[in-house]
């Protein structure tokens, strides 16, 4: 359910900061980081600051800009 909430946010804007997602969804930070971690690992979302091959939820920072992957169809 949380994954869908996050993905639907990108219908309004092509990219979001982690901090902005946290404020808009009001999901607890630990849970948001876990969901973002899953979406990034499955390459539905991308972040230029993160190497998706070797990162964890503790590597996500509030100022990072997250985008929908180019090959993901909404």
Give the pLDDT confidence score for residue 71 in this predicted structure: 78
In this prediction, residue 24 carries a pLDDT of 93
| Spatial separation of the C-alpha atoms in residues 28 and 47, rounded to whole Å | 20
Average pLDDT over residues 48-68: 82
For position 56, what pLDDT does the model report?
67
Q: Domain 2-68, CATH 2.60.120.460 — does that match?
A: no
Res. 53: pLDDT tops 90: no
Q: Where are the domains of the chain?
A: 2-68
4-44: pLDDT as tens digits: 999 999 999 999 999 999 999 999 999 999 999 999 988 89
Residue 5 and residue 25 in contact, taking contact as beta carbons nearer than 8 Å:
yes
pLDDT for the residue 73:
58
Q: How far apart are CA 37 and CA 60, in angstroms?
A: 8
Q: Rounded to whole angstroms, how far apart are CA atoms 72 and 34?
A: 20
């Amino acid at each position: 359910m949380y994954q869908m909430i996050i993905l639907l946010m990108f219908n309004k804007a092509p990219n979001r900061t982690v901090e902005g997602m946290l404020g808009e969804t009001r999901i607890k930070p630990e849970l948001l980081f876990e969901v973002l971690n899953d979406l990034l690992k499955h390459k539905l979302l991308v972040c230029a600051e993160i190497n998706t091959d070797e990162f964890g939820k503790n590597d996500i920072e509030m100022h990072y800009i997250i985008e929908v992957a180019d090959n993901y169809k909404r």
